[in-house]
Homo-oligomer: A and B are copies of this chain.
Amino acid sequence: MLEIPDIQRPSKELIEGLQGISSASAAGELCRLGIRQAQITGPVCYSPDAHIVGPALNLQFMPKREDLHQSGEYAGPERQLHRQVLYKTQPGDVVVVDARGDMNSGIFGEMMLTYFMGKGGAGVVIDGCIRDYPEAKQLDLGLWLRGTTPDFHVQTNIFPHAVNVPIACGGVLVMPGDIIIADEDGAVVCPIALAPELLKKATEHHEWEEFTRMRLAQGGELSKYYPLSDEARVEYEAWRKTQ
């Protein structure tokens, strides 16, 4: 039987705390914490309005080689690493796949994704494609993909190679257990060691932002309301009392 490493999961508090933060806020704060570029570039949101936060289960693909890889889709299911990564699913997990940007490999299909959802998985971020999208889009999962394909996962160029090892996905390094924060802007990797710091920043609430947003929508001046000028602050304080 295959020995598949599991990941170390962060505390529930950490995940819950981060759930209030958008991928945009995360990317900005992480940049200020020294991570120049935390966006997984390439995969885009295929599940409108989805917003997920969870630890990364990693799956790595490699170019297929006929002397090493069996090509049948259903040969020896338990040896299939794209299954093995799903077996590790705990509620809230996010599966991140380096599928090498391949557009002719459907990494997961309806059954795999249904199972993942059944186990409480939050979503998948794939530098590549899924198949069975007509059914998959109806599942309660966040999907960040390069696209969709009718091809199955080992049909053409690639093969699953390892689970829960460090992977490159969309130009960034993802360590197993790093935290993924993803919404319609895209998917961001928060290094696990920086997550508490990010959480701290995220909870510094800009209370005046709601006021600013309202004023800007009414035609207010950017230089007055964003950031809040001294003049606008007086106005804000007055408004705040009326709320």
Whether the pair A87, B222 counts as a contact (CB closer than 8 A) is yes
Report the separation of the CA atoms of residues A66 and B216 in the bound assembly, to the nearest whole angstrom.
32
Measured CB to CB, the nearest residue on chain B to A34 is B66
| Total chain A interface residues with beta-carbon distance under 8 A | 89
Report the separation of the CA atoms of residues A1 and B43 in the bound assembly, to the nearest whole angstrom.
38
Q: How many copies does the complex hold?
A: 6
User: Which of B131, B156, B175, B216 interacts with A111 by CB under 8 Å?
Assistant: B216
Whether the pair A64, B173 counts as a contact (CB closer than 8 A) is yes
Interface flag for A200 (CB, 8 Å): no
Interface flag for A3 (CB, 8 Å): no
Interface flag for A8 (CB, 8 Å): no
Whether the pair A63, B147 counts as a contact (CB closer than 8 A) is no
Whether the pair A216, B114 counts as a contact (CB closer than 8 A) is yes
**Which of the candidate stretches A12-20, A115-123, A235-243 sits at the interface with the other chain?**
A115-123
Whether the pair A150, B22 counts as a contact (CB closer than 8 A) is yes
Interface flag for A24 (CB, 8 Å): yes
A: residues with CB less than 8 A from B are 22-24, 26-28, 31, 34-39, 41, 44-45, 49, 51, 62-68, 73-74, 77-78, 83, 86-87, 100, 103-104, 106, 109-112, 114-115, 117-120, 131-134, 137, 147-152, 155-157, 161, 166, 168, 171-173, 175, 183-186, 188, 191, 193-194, 209, 212-213, 215-220, 222-223, 225-227
Q: List 8 A-B contacts (CB under 8 A).
A: A24-B131, A27-B152, A28-B152, A37-B151, A39-B151, A63-B173, A115-B225, A161-B166
